Amino acid sequence: MCGRFESSPSAEGLIDELKQLKLDLIVEDDEKNKTVNIAPTDKIQGIRKRDEDYLLSKYNWGIKFSPGSPLIFNSRMETIAGKKFWMDTFNRNRCLIPMSAFYEWTKEGSRKVPYRIFLKDESLFFVPALYHIDKEKNIFASLLTTMPNEFIKKIHHRMPVIFTFNNAAGYLTNTLEENLKICIPYPHPEKMEMERVKLE
């Protein structure tokens, strides 16, 4: 978790939505990319802070620190809190990934069925992430996950950390201690919903 998600609207619509964050965004790359059933290694959009600027950039979903290292597309908050390397990365290299929903599969009989999970009152939410830039200036991102809240617990043992427009931008400017306090299971399970879907 999280292994698939969607990010609608289109790149142009996303920029309009992000005006709610009241950030002066510099768009580094507005090339069209997948909006549904986005998977690890796909290109995804994210926001990071560089000096006083906020950059909307294209990221590769999943970090590989070397050719032989594993692909890290999710990073556990428990691991971050317990290891200096990850804590330093969490402190320095933070970004936000906009989503409209993520997917989980539940077992029904002998097969697994995908469900789309979203927020009832939010067309867009944000999952905090870590990023890494390699020598060729390619940018990679790993989503932050945590223990499930009461809603997700019924279907999975992990969930992404979720921010709404109210607290998303703070993640890019908060102190380390402030971010450790807010990277928790989404505290409003009653505002979450899911629906059965078909994925190509």
Mean pLDDT of 55-80: 93
What is the rounded average pLDDT for all residues in the chain?
91
Asked whether residue 65 carries a pLDDT value surpassing 70, the answer given is yes
Going through 100-185 in order, the beta strands assigned E by DSSP cover: 101-108, 111-119, 125-133, 139-146, 159-160
Q: How far is CA 127 from CA 46, 94, 132, 137, 141, in A?
A: 10, 11, 16, 23, 11
Confidence of residue 63 (pLDDT cuts 50, 70, 90): very high
Mean pLDDT of 171-199: 95
86-110 tens-digit pLDDT: 999 999 999 999 999 999 998 888 8
Confidence of residue 11 (pLDDT cuts 50, 70, 90): low
Q: Given this model, what pLDDT does residue 35 score?
A: 87
112-144 tens-digit pLDDT: 899 999 999 999 999 999 999 999 999 999 999
Query: Scanning the structure block, which residue is given the tokens 């043992």?
Result: 157
Asked whether residue 30 carries a pLDDT value surpassing 70, the answer given is no
Which pair of structure tokens corresponds to residue 38?
């986005």
Q: Given this model, what pLDDT does residue 5 score?
A: 96
Asked whether residue 200 carries a pLDDT value surpassing 80, the answer given is no
| Domains of the chain and any CATH numbers | 5-196 (3.90.1680.10)
pTM: 0.94
Asked whether residue 12 carries a pLDDT value surpassing 70, the answer given is no
Mean pLDDT of 188-200: 92
- Closest C-alpha among 160, 158, 157, 122 to residue 141: 160
Whether 32 contacts 82, CB under 8 Å = no
Which pair of structure tokens corresponds to residue 152?
């997700």
